[in-house]
Amino acid sequence: MSDPIPDPQDDAIVWRPTPEYLERSRLRRFSEGAGAASVAALRAEAAADPEWYWDAVVRDLDLEWSRPYARVLELDESAGPAWPTWFRDGRFNYVHNALDRHEAGTRRNQLAVIWEGDDGAVRHLSYRDLAAETNRLANALRALGIGKGDRVGIFLPMVPETVAATLACGKLGAVYLPMFSGFGADALASRLRDGEASLLITADGFFRRGSVVPLKATADAALAEAPSVRSCLVLRRTGVEVPWTAGRDVWWHEATAGLPTQATTEDTGGDDPYMIIHTSGTTGRPKGAVHVHAGFPIKAAHDLAYCFDLHADDTLFWLTDLGWMMGPWAIGGGLMLGATLVLFEGTPDHPAPDRLWRLVEDHGVTVLGVAPTAIRALMAKGDDWIRGRDLSSLRVLGSTGETWNPGPWRWYFGRIGGGRCPVINYSGGTETGGGIVGCTTIEPLKPCAFTGPIPGMDADVVDEAGSPERGAVGELVVRQPWVGMTRGFWRDPERYLDTYWSRFPNVWVHGDFAEVDEDGFWFIRGRSDDTLKVAGKRVGPAEVESAAVAHPAVQEAAAIGVPHPVKGETVAVFCVLAPGTGDAADPALAESVRRLVGERLGAALRPETVQFVAELPKTRNAKIMRRVLRAAFLGLPAGDLSALENPGSVAGIAGLGPGHES
């Protein structure tokens, strides 16, 4: 196969919009209607007047409100931009816009969901079918005592019922907690406890690489540590026998049998919570980012419409899980725009490395989204798996989750997109409700780059003093509030303020390093804090360390991220042994700690390496200096060590790093 990429230089523009992309573009029509001469002009106008911008967005997306809002944006001087009031007095339920109006209108027979299982099974649900499934479940949840404001954990694989579960919660005005299907019991329990969930929706199991993952067993172990959960609704997916707690556990099919296929959608306020999605920071328990009906779903629809140019005739497939924000993002935003959503239960290389490309071909995917991790892994399998696959349906390639390097980006652009499809690089976060920086289908592209802030995001790159920085790496910040931003952390407002608003006055500091080059293209250069990001999933070191310390031989532990050519980053754990419990040179002991972390947090978060050390680098107030630990292990400059209490610890770690193993 000849290389369709036109320019070998990584800093050169490799794609320009064709007349077809310009003609189709929703963003072009919106910009012209707003009187903006270019996307750059629209960005500037949105930053200058966010109230005007978001009002124009809501009108352009034709969103329906049960009661119109009195004002788009209000800022209280005492609360500041961390606590804006959006769409004051407006009544809005996103499920009405994502489902009800389609089911009652001309799209009722259009496909809403196409699902493919690990075993190749396929299901199709029209908007009418999805509404019936959702409404039956909403009625069942009501019968189980779930109502407005109640929290519901959803611990399911990517199956059609997962979409129905999220929508049913929104219909009732309940608040759902999406959970990663690969979580271990501890990680699941901590999130259920934090959200004070009263119900958990799970499955008997699901299929992965031809084997059954026993989801219900993990749920049972978690529920033993989550006393607020009164009921557990169980979907029969695999048919395997599962443990059963009478009086608590209920089969989905029995709970919904014979119930009406119509259900009332709660008249919610635009600022009523609909989802608490947990994200991990560098310390403490996972943070529950609160999102509201007239927030995250509108931001998702906005970004899909104007960055990815998603239309109702598109088929969107994002390789994701519900527990990663891209799952709720694709469901809420994709359905609000009336598109068809593809769900995939399996893995992209099972039973063969062409599984993902077969899925694109078989289901006519037009907008495909993957993390660079997946591309690195599939690229390593070779080009033969692409040959013979018809990928002509693809129109837009998406990516998010971590930073690219040029080789895999070019492979994705050239081999999968044929050099004709734009790669819409997209970066934001769970707390932002979507992207901060991104690309569009009507602007030129460079490998690995972003064309700039997403319209509506008043983003900047600043130096240590908070002044704009160009041509050098700085902190990514946002200077104005936006629709979709979290309404704080669940019952922990001070932690929210400390995490994002404490460094510079009235400025959101995101925690990413970024850079703007001389041509105005933006690049994300990695996390500026200690948060680990493994295969696109963020996890705080505290969670990993807690799991490691649960081992009887481990006295204390520290976790860091280590660069990996495929996953982007893997976890390395450094442990101090409890006296008299084992031999630091024993590889079996290290493997047992590694296995325990995987069992407690999920296989995806299992450390790549476990190292035993005499001591961990700490400050005088006993805070572990993970930055110093990582630098010593990888042989990087350690930076300022003035706060280090025990400098001798660094030498012991330095000899353990890559290239130094005995």
Is residue 327 included in any domain, yes or no? yes
What's residue 461's pLDDT? 97
Residue pair 394/414 in contact (Cβ under 8 Å)? The answer is: no
In DSSP terms, which residues pair with 508 in a beta bridge? Answer: 478
d(C-alpha 320, C-alpha 472), whole Å:
33
Please give the mean pLDDT across all residues of the chain: 92
What's residue 284's pLDDT? 58
d(C-alpha 484, C-alpha 456), whole Å:
10
Residue 602 sits in a domain whose CATH number is 3.30.300.30
Give me the percent of the chain exceeding a pLDDT of 90.
Answer: 76
Which tokens sit at 242?
A: 């599962």
User: In a 3-state reduction of DSSP, which class is residue 108?
Assistant: coil
Grade residue 105 by pLDDT with cuts at 50, 70 and 90: very high
Distances (CA, A) of 563 to 3, 158, 571, 572: 28, 28, 9, 10
Q: Are residues 508 and 600 in the same domain?
A: no
Is residue 660 included in any domain, yes or no? no
Which phi-psi region, left, alpha or beta, contains residue 145 (left: φ > 0; alpha: ψ -120 to 50)? left
Please give the DSSP secondary-structure letter assigned to residue 65. -
Residue pair 504/462 in contact (Cβ under 8 Å)? The answer is: yes
Q: Are residues 464 and 592 in the same domain?
A: no
Residue type at 385 in one-letter notation: W
Which tokens sit at 392?
A: 């002509």
At 190-240, the pLDDT tens digits run 999 999 999 999 999 999 999 999 999 999 999 999 999 999 999 999 999
Is residue 640 included in any domain, yes or no? yes
Evaluate if residue 459 carries a pLDDT over 50: yes
Q: Are residues 307 and 196 in the same domain?
A: yes
Q: What is the DSSP string of 590-627?
A: HHHHHHHHHHHH-GGG--SEEEE-S---BBTTS-B-HH
Q: Are residues 445 and 540 in the same domain?
A: no
At 113-124, the pLDDT tens digits run 999 999 999 999
Q: Are residues 300 and 412 in the same domain?
A: yes
User: In a 3-state reduction of DSSP, which class is residue 507?
Assistant: coil
Predicted TM-score of the model (pTM) = 0.86
Is residue 659 included in any domain, yes or no? no
- Give the residue-averaged pLDDT of 319-335: 96
d(C-alpha 662, C-alpha 650), whole Å:
18
Is residue 662 included in any domain, yes or no? no
Q: Are residues 475 and 615 in the same domain?
A: no
d(C-alpha 311, C-alpha 48), whole Å:
28
Final residue in a domain of this structure, among 479, 500, 529 = 529
Q: Are residues 400 and 348 in the same domain?
A: yes
At 406-456, the pLDDT tens digits run 888 999 999 999 999 999 999 999 999 999 999 999 999 999 999 999 999
Residue pair 198/187 in contact (Cβ under 8 Å)? The answer is: no
Look at the chain and report how many structural domains it folds into. 2
Which tokens sit at 288?
A: 């529950």
Question: Is the model more confident about 565 or about 338?
Answer: 338
What number of CA atoms fall less than 13 Å from residue 651's CA on the CB side? 3
- Give the residue-averaged pLDDT of 157-174: 98
Residue 127 sits in a domain whose CATH number is 3.40.50.12780
Is residue 446 included in any domain, yes or no? yes
d(C-alpha 219, C-alpha 224), whole Å:
9
d(C-alpha 82, C-alpha 76), whole Å:
10
475 burial type by CB count under 10 A (0-12 exposed, 13-18 middle, 19+ buried): buried
Final residue in a domain of this structure, among 487, 505, 529 = 529
Q: Are residues 576 and 446 in the same domain?
A: no
Q: Are residues 522 and 637 in the same domain?
A: no
What's residue 451's pLDDT? 98
User: In a 3-state reduction of DSSP, which class is residue 127?
Assistant: helix
Range of the domain at 609: 536-654
Identify the residue whose tokens are 């009544």. Answer: 91
User: In a 3-state reduction of DSSP, which class is residue 628?
Assistant: helix
3-state SS string over 494-551? HHHHHHHCCCCCCCEEEEEEEEECCCCCEEEEEECCCCEEECCEEECHHHHHHHHHCC
Q: Are residues 603 and 644 in the same domain?
A: yes
Question: Is the model more confident about 634 or about 63?
Answer: 63
Distances (CA, A) of 229 to 182, 247, 476, 612: 20, 12, 39, 38
Q: Are residues 561 and 606 in the same domain?
A: yes
Of the candidate ranges 173-187, 250-264, 494-508, 521-535, the one whose mean pLDDT is the lowest? 521-535
Question: Is the model more confident about 460 or about 631?
Answer: 460
**Rg of the chain taking only CA atoms, in angstroms:** 24
Is residue 21 included in any domain, yes or no? yes
Is residue 661 included in any domain, yes or no? no
Final residue in a domain of this structure, among 497, 529, 561 = 529
At 572-619, the pLDDT tens digits run 999 989 888 888 889 999 999 999 999 998 888 899 999 999 988 886
Q: Are residues 596 and 625 in the same domain?
A: yes
454 burial type by CB count under 10 A (0-12 exposed, 13-18 middle, 19+ buried): buried
